[in-house]
């Protein structure tokens, strides 16, 4: 049985402000996998494919997930 890949998580520049206590982090350093986690819960990792990630990002860009409504 193999362990989880060695992800290199990064967060958005705005999340690097010390006043921000929890941010989404993403890792794209493992071929074929995009991994997501919250900085407050680093042990919980969600994996997806680059294709699904691209579809999600495009939906966010076009306002499909507008949470202000």
**The predicted structure's pLDDT at residue 6:** 92
Cβ burial, residue 69 (10 Å; 0-12/13-18/19+): exposed
Dist. CA 53–CA 59, nearest whole Å:
10
Q: How does pLDDT run along the chain (69 residues), one tens digit per residue?
A: 466 779 999 998 888 777 877 899 999 999 999 999 998 899 999 999 999 999 999 999 999 988 786
pTM of this structure: 0.79
- 48: β partners: 34
Phi, psi (rounded to 5 degrees) for 61: -60, -35
């Amino acid at each position: 049985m193999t362990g989880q890949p060695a992800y290199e998580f990064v967060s958005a520049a705005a999340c690097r402000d010390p006043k921000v206590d929890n941010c989404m982090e993403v890792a794209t350093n493992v071929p074929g996998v995009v991994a997501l986690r919250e900085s407050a819960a680093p042990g919980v990792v969600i994996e997806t494919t680059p294709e699904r990630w691209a579809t999600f990002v495009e939906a966010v860009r076009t306002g499909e997930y507008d949470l202000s409504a």
